[in-house]
């Protein structure tokens, strides 16, 4: 007779930048910032899952925009996708299809084995040693000792998603919560704390996914040039922010002829890049409506053309924002429904329990300062000509979007919107 059990999913993403040198476990190893990593060439599996990952990222973003208008948004779509793709390994046929299609994959174009091999390739690529860029991503299963996992799920989750198996005593909810929080805190270098609390005693398994990203600007800002300036949250709200200033220097940027925005590309030292998207004043809704995978691809392709590499002064706020999301309330609206109901089929995980996902959390943090890490985009009427020296300037002094990409895998690591940089 099957027993009932709860499966809890916890996802943590951190985009961090620091004032000092990067901490890396692979000091002394490096590669060219944008050289092609092994297994990420044209047609590689990590590139094959990139379109699906992008579709999911934008679906999630648009849903958050509709549910929390006027708020900061920040999340790691890759963290969510990797955790749920891993979970699909143990799902029955209908639940598995629902998960993968909800994650943006067209199963007539990319097969289930290719999806898992694509994540395997992507995770391997992100783990390549680089002393200028630190990306640390992984999965951990916290399991009640009396629960026996099926060998195939155990082997496949470790093979494709490099998952760690850790035992926990769920009859001691407080102690188990501390164990999980300590693990996440350690893996995110102390940045994400208290991810979980109030565990239920009937929890049988907790899946945790974390991603930690720490990078340095290819062209850092000078801290001595950071000064207080106005940031225009909306027509009636203005806040003072620490505005980083740089320039004039050469940067990749364009004023879109078709959409009311300017887009800026900022590179990191290492295999990562960022887009800052700045809508023209009052045009955020208009830009968000046309934000599609095709538009993102178009911007990224255009910003490899030397025509868009020109001198400009930059003004970007120094800030920290975060996002916390209850995925069990969000993902059903994206088509992933059965997992959170009694219709859930996780017969591929264990034969002992009728598992269903009771709660699923995601938390992500973005920190931006003069030396660190950021993605940027800006909008069309965004140039300001300074009468004193006639230099063009891009001023991110109103709400903008940010997307952080892994360059070689073309996957979105983090995506968000900065509405008010004074609200963490």
383 and 312 housed in the same domain: yes
In tens, the pLDDT along 351-361 reads 877 777 777 88
Ranges assigned E (strand) in 159-300: 163-167, 203-215, 227-232, 238-255, 261-267, 272-279
User: For residue 5, what pLDDT is reported?
Assistant: 38
Mean pLDDT score across all residues of the chain: 81
User: For residue 205, what pLDDT is reported?
Assistant: 79
In tens, the pLDDT along 272-308 reads 899 999 999 999 999 999 999 999 999 999 999 999 9
**Domain of 52, in residue numbers:** 3-216+320-367
**pLDDT exceeds cutoff 80 at 255:** yes
* Residue 423 lies inside a defined structural domain of this protein: no
pLDDT class for 42, splitting at 50, 70, 90? very low
87 and 184 housed in the same domain: yes
User: For residue 12, what pLDDT is reported?
Assistant: 56
173 and 204 housed in the same domain: yes
User: For residue 199, what pLDDT is reported?
Assistant: 78
The whole-angstrom separation of Cα 323 and Cα 13 is 9
* Residue 330 lies inside a defined structural domain of this protein: yes
**Average pLDDT of the residues in 200-209:** 79
395 and 302 housed in the same domain: yes
* Residue 424 lies inside a defined structural domain of this protein: no
Per the structure, how many domains does the chain have? 2
CATH code of the domain in which 176 resides: 3.30.497.10
* Residue 44 lies inside a defined structural domain of this protein: yes
313 and 324 housed in the same domain: no
**pLDDT exceeds cutoff 50 at 324:** yes
**pLDDT exceeds cutoff 50 at 148:** yes
**pLDDT exceeds cutoff 70 at 406:** yes
411 or 212, greater pLDDT: 411
User: For residue 341, what pLDDT is reported?
Assistant: 82
The whole-angstrom separation of Cα 383 and Cα 366 is 26
Peptide bond into 175 cis (omega under 30): no
Percentage of residues in the chain having pLDDT higher than 90: 43
**Average pLDDT of the residues in 376-381:** 16
240, 244, 245, 251 alpha-carbon torsion, rounded to 10°: -130
313 and 389 housed in the same domain: yes
260 and 293 housed in the same domain: yes
350 and 407 housed in the same domain: no
């Amino acid at each position: 007779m099957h027993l009932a059990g709860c499966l809890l999913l916890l996802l943590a993403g951190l985009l961090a930048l620091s004032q000092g040198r990067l901490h890396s476990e692979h000091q002394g190893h490096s590669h060219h910032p944008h050289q092609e990593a092994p297994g990420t060439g044209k047609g590689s599996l990590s590139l094959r899952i990139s379109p699906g990952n992008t579709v999911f990222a934008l679906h999630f973003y648009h849903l958050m925009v509709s549910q929390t208008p006027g708020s900061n948004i920040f999340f790691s779509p890759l963290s969510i996708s990797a955790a749920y793709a891993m979970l699909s390994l143990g799902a029955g046929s209908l639940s598995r299809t629902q998960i993968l299609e909800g994650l943006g994959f067209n199963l007539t174009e990319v097969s289930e084995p290719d999806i898992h091999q694509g994540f395997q390739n992507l995770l391997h690529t992100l783990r390549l040693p680089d002393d200028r860029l630190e990306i640390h991503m992984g999965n951990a299963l916290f399991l009640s000792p009396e629960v026996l996992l099926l060998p195939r799920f155990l082997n496949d989750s470790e093979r494709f998603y490099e998952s760690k198996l850790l035992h926990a005593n769920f009859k001691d909810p407080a102690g188990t919560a501390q164990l999980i929080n300590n693990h996440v805190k350690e893996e995110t270098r102390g940045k994400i704390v208290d991810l979980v609390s109030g565990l239920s005693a009937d929890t049988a398994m907790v899946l945790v996914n974390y991603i930690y990203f720490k990078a340095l600007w290819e062209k850092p800002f000078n801290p001595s040039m950071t000064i207080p300036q106005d940031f225009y949250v909306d027509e009636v709200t203005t806040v003072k922010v620490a505005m980083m200033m740089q320039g004039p220097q050469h940067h990749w940027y364009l004023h879109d002829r078709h959409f009311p925005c300017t887009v800026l590309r900022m590179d990191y030292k290492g295999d990562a890049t960022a887009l800052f998207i700045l809508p023209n004043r009052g045009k955020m809704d208009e830009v968000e409506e046309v934000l599609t995978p095709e538009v993102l691809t178009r911007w990224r392709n255009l910003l490899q053309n030397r025509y868009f590499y020109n001198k400009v002064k930059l003004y970007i706020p120094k800030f920290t924002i975060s996002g916390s999301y209850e995925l069990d309330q969000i993902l059903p609206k994206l088509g992933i429904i059965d997992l959170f109901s009694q219709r859930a089929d996780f017969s591929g995980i264990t034969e002992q329990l009728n598992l269903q996902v009771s709660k699923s959390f995601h938390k992500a943090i973005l920190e931006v300062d003069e030396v660190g890490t950021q993605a940027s985009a800006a909008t069309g009427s965004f140039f300001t000509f300074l009468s004193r020296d006639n230099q063009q300037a891009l001023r991110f002094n109103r709400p903008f979007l940010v997307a952080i990409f892994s360059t070689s895998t073309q996957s979105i690591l983090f995506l968000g919107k900065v509405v008010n940089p004074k609200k963490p």
